[in-house]
Amino acid sequence: MGFDEEVLRAAVDAGFAAQTEWLARLVGFDTTRGKEAACQDWLAAEFATRGYAVDRYTLDEVAIEGQPGHSPVVDADYSRAVQVVASHRVAEPAGRSLILQGHIDVVPPGAPELWARDPFRAEVIDGWMHGRGTADMKGGVSAMVFALDALARIGFEPASTVHLETVSEEECTGNGALSTLVRGYRADAALIPESMGHRIIRAELGSVWFRLRILGRPGHVLATAAPGAHAILAAQDYIAALQALTAQINREARTHAHFGSIDSPVKFNPGRIHGGDWLGSVPSWCELDCRLSVLPGQRLADVRARVAAAVAACAEGLGTAPPALSWIGFQADGHVFAPGTAAEAALAREHRAVIGTDLDSIAMTATSDTRFYDLYYGIPALCYGAQGRGMHSPDEAIDLDSLRATTLIIARFIANWCGLRPVGQG
Question: 297 CB contacts (<8 Å, ≥6 apart)?
Answer: 256, 334
Total of residues contacting Zn ion (CB under 5 A): 3
* Least distance between Zn ion and beta carbon 170 (Å): 5
| Binding segment (CB under 5 A) for Zn ion, from list 124-132, 135-143, 284-292, 335-343 | 135-143
The 8-class DSSP code of residue 222 comes to T
113 has which bridge partners? none
- The answer to whether residues 234 and 270 touch, using CB atoms and an 8 Å cutoff, is no
* Least distance between Zn ion and beta carbon 192 (Å): 8
Q: Give the residue with the Cβ less far from Zn ion, 55 or 369.
A: 369
- Give the CB-side neighbour count of residue 33, counting CA atoms within 13 A: 18
Q: Give the residue with the Cβ less far from Zn ion, 1 or 366.
A: 366
Give, as ranges, the residues between 168 and 227 that touch Zn ion (CB under 5 A): 194
Residue 228: which of 323, 324, 325 has the closest Cα? 323
Distance CA 340, CA 338 (A): 7
User: Of 73, 135, 137, 205, which lies in the binding site for Zn ion, with binding defined by CB under 5 A?
Assistant: 137
End-to-end CA distance of the chain: 16
Is 350 a binder of Zn ion (CB under 5 A)? no
* Least distance between Zn ion and beta carbon 234 (Å): 34
| Binding segment (CB under 5 A) for Zn ion, from list 15-23, 123-131, 137-145, 303-311 | 137-145
Is 36 a binder of Zn ion (CB under 5 A)? no
**Where would I find the H helices in 154-277?**
175-182, 231-252
SS3 227: coil
Is 104 a binder of Zn ion (CB under 5 A)? no
* Least distance between Zn ion and beta carbon 372 (Å): 13
Q: Give the residue with the Cβ less far from Zn ion, 100 or 418.
A: 100
Is 369 a binder of Zn ion (CB under 5 A)? no
Is 282 a binder of Zn ion (CB under 5 A)? no
SS3 101: strand
Helix 5-27 and helix 400-418: axis angle, to 10°? 120
**Where would I find the H helices in 253-329?**
300-318
Is 136 a binder of Zn ion (CB under 5 A)? yes
Q: Give the residue with the Cβ less far from Zn ion, 136 or 350.
A: 136
The site for Zn ion (CB under 5 A) is made up of: 136-137, 194
